[in-house]
Each structure stands twice: as structure tokens, then as C-alpha cells.
Structure 1
Amino acid sequence: MTKLQIHKPENLKLDVIIKPFHEFAKIEASGGLLLLASALIALILANSIFAEQYFAIWHSTFSINLGPLSLSMPVEAWINEGLMALFFLVVGLEIKREFLVGELSSAKKALLPVVAAVGGMMIPAIIYTAFNLGNPGASGWGIPMATDIAFTVGVLTLLGKRIPTPLKAFIVALAIVDDIGAVLVIALFYTTGVSFSSLGAAAIILLALFFANRLKVRSTLVYAILGILLWFAFLKSGVHATVAGVLLALLIPSKPDIDMEDFHSNAQGILNRLDESDKKADVLSNREHQGSILSMEVLTTHAETPMQRMERFLHPWVTFTIVPLFALANAGIPLSNFSTAVTSTVSLGVIFGLIAGKQIGITLFTWIAIKTNLSIMPREVSWRQIYGVSWLAGIGFTMSIFITNLSLASPALAVQSKMGILLASLIGGIVGYLILRTTSASPNKP
């Protein structure tokens, strides 16, 4: 039988930081492929003999009745405002983790991806506005600001060892800062008809979450119940309900009950007791073995933060179910008037914003940050790789489609925007992949 290897406390601490990143990358890469498949299926169905049934499914009404409480919305709205709140909860947990132990945990680490992300949001918004100023689609300026982290990490994974770890960390941090920007844009600029009584209820629930955190309440069930109430309050407030997911994430406890040294010493004690017991005894009949296993289970629960537990549980569901379902419901656009729609100012603004805007914004702002000594180039990363990343950042998809639904009330304009998103994401992904595939990992002079 294989003997358990007990790692040193310092190695455990390092593993706590590194392992989540690798698991995150694996999940996002697989999710990117599933997301692509969902988008293709949606496009095929929307342009097939089943198009009428396809659209009817998403527009049909679904209701939930819990005593005096009743909520009725189209299936598409349940996905976009309900399930996507869980997507934003995971986004919020990822953002929080990056600020605590990741690439955004210190000013020195965070500065370069933050500056690059700011450029990658500002320039696309300006380009889109230049195409649509004074037009009905002007409100969609936030659409080309986003980067789809699942697709982007998926492309990086296809490149394998050609991509140094610091470059992967850079683009993940950049995409997360993009998510922060997108959440702020949604909360501040795409909110209509505010109900202050519902916002007041949301504030009370947030206060309850704050005190639960301060009182070290560790039950994820408590935070889940308060989170559902928070989502409902935001849904009725006029502020987009998905914002509740991010706010909930910020208030989930991020500290364990015991540190790694205590965990190691206690775990070692449990293993020592097992060493002294009859190892050949059946665990079903040996109370000492059962007690040791239960003690280890309790110990690991205390060593893991509620934030980790919630992210570990939700991340696969969001990546493999919710986001593909969102793509299936929202990426299905009729292509009958493709040439007309794709040359509209909305579509052109999205295409040039995501492709040219991301290239200019990310590469230029990164160059300025390094040339002014605000930051330094990540080790093993070349300027050509930064440029390749700027193309990959043009894969807007999930968040861009989400902002399209919020910012463009006209169905015709929304279709034009989605066409632009799909085309720009396809071009950005292919060109970015080719640039990075043919790039040496050794740093180049700018």
C-alpha cells in the first residue's frame, strides 16, 4: 500500500497559493472548449428549421411560487439574471483571491496587469464611441471592454509549454481586472428605475453578511441563504441582480480557523495514532480508525476557508453548466442579414474595439508602464508575447454578450453587436494563437 507523504509546513503554504491557479487554469481551459461548442450549437439552431422552437424555449415563462412569494420571468431572464449571478459570485471570489494571494496581492505585482487592463478597457470604449456617437447604439460603449477568461485560458492551454507561467499569470490577472471594470460599468451605467426600498433591504442584508463574517460564522449555508435574499433584493431594486454575486463574494470569510502549521501538527498526530493502531483492521469495524478519519475530516474543514469551499463547489458548475447555458441562450443569432449587420456602426464599433482597441490599449499602456519604471516586464516574457496576449484579449464573448443584453434595448442592435462579438472573438483567438505559437519565450527589446 502507498505510504502517505507528509509535506513540510512551508511546502503546504506554497501549495495553497500555487495549486488553486493550476486547478483554475485546467477548469477554464476545458470550459472554454465547452463554451465554444455551445455557441456553435446556438448558431446552428438559430439558423436551422428548428429556429422557431429554439427561440420559443428561451422566451417561455418559468415561475417559482413559495407561499406568498412569486417570481415569474422568461427562461432567458432566469439564465441572464439568475444563474449568471452565480457566475458573478465566482468572478468575485476569483477577484478576492487574486487580491489576497495572487497577482493582485501587492502593488508591485498588480500594477502591470492593472495598467494593461485599464488601457484595454479605455481604448476599445473610445473606438466604439467614435463609431456610434449620436447613434442609437451609443449606449453600448461598454461592450468591447471585456475579455472572456475561459476562452483566453483555453487558447493558452492549447499552446502548452510555449507559454511561460508568468505570462499566464499576467493575462489571468488582466482578465480579472477587466471583470472588475465590467462589474463597475454594469452597476454604475446600466442601471435603470432604481427602487430605494429594495436597495435599503439589500443594504440590511449586506450588513447581516458583514456581521456574519466578523463573528466568524463559517457555515456556507448561512451565506447561501443571505445571498439568495440579497439577489432578490437587487432584482427588485433596478440594479442588475448579478451585482449581488460580486458583493456576496467580498463578504465570504477568507481566513481559516487554523493555520498550516497547526494543521500539519494535528494531522501528523492523527497519522501517528493510525501508525500505532492495527492497520489490517477493517475500517467498518474499527472505531479507532473511524475516529481518526472523522478527526481528519473535521481538521481539513477548519483548515479550509469558506471562500475556498464555495469557489471549489461552484466553479465547475459555473464553468461546465451555467456559462455554456448562457452561450446557448444568447449566442443564437440569425445570419440571414450577416453582410448588412456586420457592416453596421454597432458591429464595426465592437469589432474594431475588441481587435484594434485591445491591441493598442494593452500593448501601449504596458509599454508606458515599463518605460516610465512604474513596473517591470515579467520574467521570461517578450514584447511579442505581450502583443499576442493583446489579440487574445479581444475574445470578448461572455461578458461582452452580457453587456449587450443590458445596454442595447433594440433586438436588431443586439444582433449586430453579437455578430461583431463573435467575429472579433474568432479573429482575436486565431491571430493571438498564431502569434504566441511562433514566439520565443526569451524577452525581446521593444
Structure 2
Amino acid sequence: AIFPVTAALSGAILPALIFWFMNKATPHINGWAIPMATDIAFVIGILAILAPRVPSWVKLFAITVAVVDDLIAILVIAFFYTEEINWIAMGVAGICVLVLLFFNYRNVNRLTLYLTVGFFLWWAVLGSGIHATIAGVILAFTIPLHREWELEEIKKSAKQSLELFRKAKDETLPETTTLAHHALEKTLRNMESPLKRLERKLHTPVYFIIMPLFAFVNAGIGFDGDVLKQAFLSSLTWGVILGLLGGKQAGILLAVLIFLKFFLTQRDNDRQTWMIFLGLSLLCGIGFTMSLFITNLSFTDPTSLEYAKLGVLVVSLVNALLGYFVLYRATLNPENKAIQ
């Protein structure tokens, strides 16, 4: 895991440095974190389109980099875009975190307990002045990823549930059928970890309701000819564009170069491998929703908002198209050792 994490770190730091260098003498310097983030949803979506051609290690690398990128961005939001901290609320948040950690330590698997404490954690973090997104990250880290039952217990419970269904066929009373249903539901519930169960339940509303609304609310812009002309003369717009198209790729590929040179075998260091990593680094340059979100936190001036958002939208579209076509070309030959 250290490989994609290192790639994510260098792929977040270099874009921020490029933006800072281009805007250090301007009022736009507060937007240095805009090109750090990656829109996970778009990365997953494009990889899904390429799914039959793209091997599992490519997906794992890209998603890990995107997740770490966004965790870095969330931490930056929490600690660098906070004006004043309410320490009493922070204390309450700390207590909530300790309770969540205790639940995890004691192998508590009831999601309702985690979500209840998570609500109070969100309320406390919101009241502290730190951006409340950090509460969701902390909550996710404390919800167990392991199943409550081992495989043998699941098999045993499944057999018992099926036996109850067989008995229910021969009886007219509904109690046996109800018991069989409850037993099977319990078995199915314990086949998943609490975190996986929560992820599955949230998948549809998040991807089809929350994410589109999030993008719509944060993008809310309209451009005319004069705005476009002025935007492309601004160091703010170009700081965002060059950070996500140039800086992001250079940062990730630098980490790839180091690992290919010192840690991976020579057979991994060929043209097709580099094409795959270039395509992945381009996908990780799709900032879109996260970058738009940070833009809204960085500026209050309408002109600065328009310039930065234009840069985010343009570079995200370019990176999405380039990333797709580079990966498509790189995976044309499924027999190549780079994609096996």
C-alpha cells in the first residue's frame, strides 16, 4: 500500500506548490489546495467503462491514490480553512471519538450505535469551527471492516436457516416461516462487515442523488465571453489548470519512477507500464466536485470563484478525456506483461 500512498502524497503536494508559485504574490494564494484533490466518482466511473480491459491492480492503484488524495484534501480543509476553534466543542468531539474507538475495540457490530455517536461527533466538529467533513472520515475509520461471524459460523447458520425453510413447507403455521426468514436475514447480515453493509446501503443515494446535487450546487456558474477571456489571462485559472494537468501527473509519475527504479522488477519498467501509469495519473487529475468544494471555501469574491471554477471544469474535462484514451490505448494488447 505504500506505493499508491506515496504516489498520492507527491501527487497532492506538487500541484499545491505549482499553484502557490504562480499565485504567491496575488490575493488568490488562499486557493493553493484546489488542485490537490481527486474526484473519486469520476475515476471509478471511467475505470468501470474500461472494466473488461483494465486489470484489478490498475483499479486498486487508481482508487487508492484517489482516496488518499481526498483524505489529504479533507485534512487540509479541516486544519487550514478553519478560522477559529471552539475548544469545548473539540472536547466533546474527542469524547465521541473515544467512544467510537471503544466500540471498535470491543468488536461492537451494531451500525446504529456508530451512527448515533457519529451524529453527535458531526455536531461537535461543526460547532468547533473545523469543517464537519472530518467527522465523516473519523467515523468511517472506526466502523469495523471485519465480519462478526467467521466462515464456519456463517455456513452453520445458513444450514440451520435452510432446514427451517424445509420444515416450513410441511407446516401450515406461519411461525416457522417467520423464524426461517429471520434466521436467514441474520445470516446474510453477518456475512458482511458493518462498514461494507453501510457502504452498500449508501451507494445508490450517494451516487444518484447526493453526488449530482453536490456537483450542481458547487458548480453553479455561468460564463460570458468577457469572463472567459479574462479568466484565461489570470494566474488563478492557470494555477488550477497546471496544478491538475502537469503537477498531478508529475507528482504521481515521480513516485512511480522511484518505485520502478528501486523496488520493482525490471520487467515492470517498460513503455506499456508507463502508459498505464500516465493514464491513471491523468484520471487522478480530475478534481471536479472536490476541487469545486475547496474553491467555495477559498474565495468569497465572485470573480475569483468564476476563474477558479472555470479552471477546474476545463482541466477536469481534459484530464478525463486524455486519461480515458491513454488507458484505452495502453490496454489494447491484453497479452502484454504490463497489464497481466
TM over 0.5: yes
Determine if contact 2:23/2:235 at 8 Å carries over to the other structure.
yes
Shift of 1:118: 1.8
The residue that corresponds to 2:210 in the other structure is 322
SS in 1 for 2:82: coil
Instruction: Report the Cα offset of residue 185 of structure 1.
Output: 1.3
Q: What residue is the counterpart of 1:369 in the other structure?
A: 259
Percent pairwise identity: 40
Shift of 1:230: 1.3
Is the contact between residue 166 and residue 378 of structure 1 (CA under 8 Å) also seen in structure 2? no
In 2, are the aligned partners of 1:220 and 1:306 still within 8 Å (CA)? yes
* Matched AA of 1:135: T
Aligned runs of 1:206-217 on 2, under 5 Å? 206-217=97-108
- Provide the rounded CA distance (Å) in 2 between the counterparts of 1:422 and 1:281: 63
Maintained 8 Å contact 2:168/2:176: no
CA contact (8 A) 1:383 1:443 kept: no
- Equivalent residue, structure 2, for 1:351: 241
Measured after TM superposition, the shift of residue 119 of structure 1 is 2.1
Do structure 1's residue 267 and structure 2's residue 155 form an aligned pair? no
Contact 1:125/1:141 (<8 A) preserved: yes
**What SS is found at the alignment partner of 1:351?**
helix
Amino acid at match of 2:73: A
Offset of residue 194 of structure 1: 0.9
Contact 2:109 2:148 in 1 (8 A): no
Please give the secondary structure, in 2, of the residue aligned with 1:186: helix
Aligned pair partner of 2:145 in 233, 254, 264? 254
Q: 1:424 aligns with which of 309, 315, 330?
A: 315
SS of residue in 1 equivalent to 2:147: coil
- For residues 225-257 of structure 1, the C-alpha deviation after alignment (integer angstroms, 9 at most, x for no partner) is 222221111111110011111111122233333
Structure 1 281/126 Cα, relative in aligned 2: closer, same or farther at 3 Å? same
Q: Is the 1:342–1:419 contact (alpha carbons within 8 Å) kept by the matching residues of 2? A: no
* TM-score, length-scaled by structure 2: 0.90
Aligned partners of 1:398, 1:391: CA distance in 2, in Å? Answer: 16
After superposition, where does 1:210-359 map in structure 2 within 5 Å?
A: 210-275=101-166, 277=167, 279=169, 285-336=173-224, 337-359=227-249
CA contact (8 A) 1:115 1:369 kept: no
Are 2:218 and 2:289, in contact at CA under 8 Å, matched by a contact in 1? no
Partner of 2:276: 385
Structure 2 gaps of 5+ residues are none
Shift of 1:375: 8.1
Amino acid at match of 2:215: A
Report the residue type matching 1:305 in the other structure.
S
Within the alignment, does 1:188 sit opposite 2:79 as a pair?
yes
Q: What is the letter of the counterpart of residue 193 of structure 1?
A: E
Whether contact under 8 Å (1:117, 1:178) holds in the other structure is: yes
Query: Following TM superposition, by how much is the alpha carbon of 1:420 offset from its aligned partner in structure 2, in angstroms?
Result: 0.3
Return the alpha-carbon distance in structure 2 between the equivalents of residues 340 and 168 of structure 1.
Answer: 39
- Aligned residue for 1:180, secondary structure, equals helix
Residues of 2 paired with 1:327 and 1:248: CA distance? 23
Look up the match of 1:132. 23
Matched-pair contact (CA < 8 Å) for 2:39–2:287: yes
Structure 1 residues 421 and 247, CA gap change in structure 2 (3 angstroms): same
TM-superposed deviation, 1:170: 1.3
**Relative to 1, partners in 2 of residues 1:217 and 1:347: Cα closer, same or farther, differing over 3 Å?**
same
1:351 Cα deviation after fit: 0.3
**What CA RMSD, in Å, does the superposition of the two structures yield over aligned residues?**
2.4
Greater helix content: 2
Where structure 1 has 5 or more consecutive residues not aligned to the other structure, the ranges are 1-109
Question: What are the within-5 Å matches in structure 2 for residues 2-13 of structure 1?
Answer: none
Deviations 1:35-94 (A, max 9, x none): xxxxxxxxxxxxxxxxxxxxxxxxxxxxxxxxxxxxxxxxxxxxxxxxxxxxxxxxxxxx
For the residues of structure 2 that align with 1:191 and 1:375, how far apart are their CA atoms? 45
The two structures have a TM-score, normalised by structure 1, of 0.69
- Aligned residue in 1 for 2:54: 163
- Tell me how far 1:364 sits from its aligned partner: 2.3
